[in-house]
Structure 1
Amino acid sequence: MNANLPELGLQRSDCLETSWVKSTVYWAGFANGTSIDVLLNSVPANTMLYKTKSDYYKAVIPEHGLETLWEVLMDIGNVIVIMNPYGGRMDEISESETAFAHRGGNFFMAQYTVHWSESDGGISAEGRYVDLSRRFFRTMAPYASSNPRAALVNYRDLDIGSNESGETDLEVAKGYGAKYFKNNFMRLAGAKAMIDPENFFKNEQSIPPLK
């Protein structure tokens, strides 16, 4: 990092090396060094509320786009942006080979998380922070993937489309399905028809059985 991005002034003390299970404690918002025993609590001691969205990028964000990103980050404040690089082995596997389709042609995947706590207004502040999350998402639209604007299924986002509770309509599902799975969605719906034809397992963004 110091060789390629000396502007960051990164120090060894800025970095944390930890086990996977300890990282789950860190990402849950606990202070570094907190015992993993907190994971045994059915109700977490500290409640961090958040809204997460995601994007894929097939081109480098231009300088003016980075300036816009920085301005929005500073304005919102309570936001985390994580950029996961793609390429390498990811590019070598066909997007139709597995259910996960976001492979060749993607520079990186970005996760945007706007977060707040009880001290920020708790549940009563939810609408304001969710609106900030959507504003951030709109700001990045010119630089992200399009047709469809792809998303990572791990970061479920009902804003990109969802069924009513208890229902799984195929036409509705095609909307979010294309963003999560691209051309693999219909194949997955066919698999669902074989594995769970009665659609017992479902949620607002599940894959329906192909009739």
Structure 2
Amino acid sequence: MPQLEKFLKKKSHYVQKRISKPNLEQIWKLMSELKKPMMTFNHYGGRMSEISKSELCLVATLIFKIQYSVNWKEGWEEVVETNLERIRRLYDYMTPYV
């Protein structure tokens, strides 16, 4: 039976403006370098887009949430630090876009 991932770290950001295609390409490039972290996008939209922004609260003006996650099996200190550094690097890189 394969061993399941035992360790996990997650972080998130909220996005109010679209991320341009060239910037997305740079983000994908970094993710390829880092190999391990994942990003999940939770889109906020639907009927909210029909209401003027002046009538919405801040939370309702969000376009989407990005969740960053990384998981691993080994508990060795170097493996833990490597994976935590990966997600920190991605999270920090994304800060200007959120």
Q: Fold conserved (TM > 0.5)? A: yes
Of the two, which has the highest radius of gyration? Answer: 1
Distance 1:72 1:104 in 2: 30
2:72 aligned residue:
116
Distance 1:47 1:128 in 2: 15
User: 1:74 deviation in Å?
Assistant: 0.5
CA contact (8 A) 1:86 1:103 kept: no
1:138 aligned residue:
92
Distance 2:76 2:47 in 1: 42
User: 1:133 deviation in Å?
Assistant: 0.8
1:50 aligned residue:
8
Distance 1:77 1:48 in 2: 18
1:129 aligned residue:
83
- Which residue type is aligned with residue 111 of structure 1? Q
Considering fraction of residues, name the structure with more helix.
2
Shift in CA distance, 130/90, structure 1 to aligned 2, threshold 3 Å: farther
Distance 1:135 1:73 in 2: 10
Give secondary structure in 1 for the equivalent of 2:61. coil
Note if 1:88 corresponds to 2:46: yes
Note if 1:71 corresponds to 2:25: no
Larger RCO of the pair (alpha carbons < 8 Å, separation 6+): 2
Q: TM-score, normalised by structure 2?
A: 0.77
User: 1:90 deviation in Å?
Assistant: 5.6
1:26 aligned residue:
none
User: 1:46 deviation in Å?
Assistant: 2.5
Considering fraction of residues, name the structure with more strand.
2
Q: Deviations over 1:73-113 (max 9, x none)?
A: 10111121110100235676964xxxxxx632111111010
Distance 1:106 1:126 in 2: 33
Give secondary structure in 1 for the equivalent of 2:60. coil
- Which residue type is aligned with residue 59 of structure 1? K
User: 1:51 deviation in Å?
Assistant: 1.3
- Counting matched residue pairs gives 92
Shift in CA distance, 103/90, structure 1 to aligned 2, threshold 3 Å: farther
1:106 to 49, 62, 85: 62
